[in-house]
Amino acid sequence: MSEKSVIVFLGPSLDLDSARSILPSADFRPPASRGDLEKAAAENPDIICLIDGVFFEQCSVGHREILAALKKGICVVGASSMGALRASETEIFGMVGIGKVFELYKNKIIESDDEVAVICDPFTNEAVSDALVNIRATLEKAESEKILTADESAALFQIAAEIYYPDRLYDFLIENASASGVLNPESLHSFEKWIRDGNAADIKKEDAIAALKFVSEKISESD
């Protein structure tokens, strides 16, 4: 049987080297904007995997182009960022959603594009801000590990949610929290040290990996 053709739209959610180690034969493309899935579908791939897409600076991926690809019999998989959002909206029509972010959207725990939006380096596509959905997961993790109380976690999330998405960084969050006085200095210092020790959650990355592994397994099953 011939090898399945796969097109993946990927940006800040996962670095390209890691992605290629999972799906070496895939055609990796930059974050999708309006019309990119339509163009991809015209190439008749077996699978389109939508992970990253543009949000505010350009027109985002349209539902109609996803539905058109599904109608052609193309398997469309979404996860992590724009892919998770669109999958939650079109799963009923056959798009496959993968991962925690998808489940958050599907279950209406989150609804806004703002939860997954980040600012990217225009040359590397690396994120230079922190996604609110990752901050949400980080605060839940900090609470579960007794670094923060439930009230402290909620207070920090409220501050993070009010920061304009390009400015969302843990350093800025901690700076704002310190200025507002909503946490005692000892708790804030413990949280800051915990973050600097590498404990921040990155569920967007985890979901991107899970989606690519799902596609890889799907390819293997058809061989």
For the chain, the structural domain boundaries read 6-122+204-222, 132-199
Residue 53: strand pairing partners: 32
Name residue 152's amino acid: E
DSSP lists the bridge partners of residue 113 as: none
How many Å apart are CA 97 and CA 99, to the nearest integer? 7
| Predicted pLDDT of residue 57 | 64
Between CA 99 and CA 152, with CA 195 as vertex, the angle to 5 degrees is 85
Full-model pTM = 0.94
Length of the chain: 223
**Model pLDDT for residues 165-205, shown as the tens digit of each residue:** 999 999 999 999 999 988 899 999 999 999 999 999 999 99
pLDDT at 1 (0 to 100):
34
Phi-psi region of 125 (alpha: psi -120 to 50; beta: other; left: phi over 0): left
Q: Cα(9)–Cα(143) distance, rounded to whole angstroms?
A: 34
What are the angstrom distances between the C-alpha of 4 and each of 71, 80, 98, 112, 220? Answer: 18, 23, 20, 34, 9
Decide: helix, strand or coil at residue 183.
coil
Residues 6+ apart with CB under 8 A from 216: 22, 23
Residue pair 138/169 in contact (Cβ under 8 Å)? The answer is no
Q: Which fold is adopted by the domain 6-122+204-222?
A: Rossmann fold (3.40.50)
pLDDT tens, 7-21? 999 999 999 999 999
Bridge partners of residue 77, in order along the sequence: 49, 96
Distances (CA, A) of 125 to 52, 112, 119: 10, 22, 9
Ranges under pLDDT 50 in the chain: 1-2
Distance (Å, whole) CA 157 – CA 138: 10
pLDDT at 64: 95
Structure tokens belonging to residue 132: 């609110």
pLDDT value, residue 3: 67
Comparing CA positions, the residue from 153, 114, 119 lying closest to residue 136 is 153
Please report, for residues 4, 88, 111, the alpha-carbon distance to residue 98 in angstroms, rounded to integers and kept in the order given.
20, 10, 17
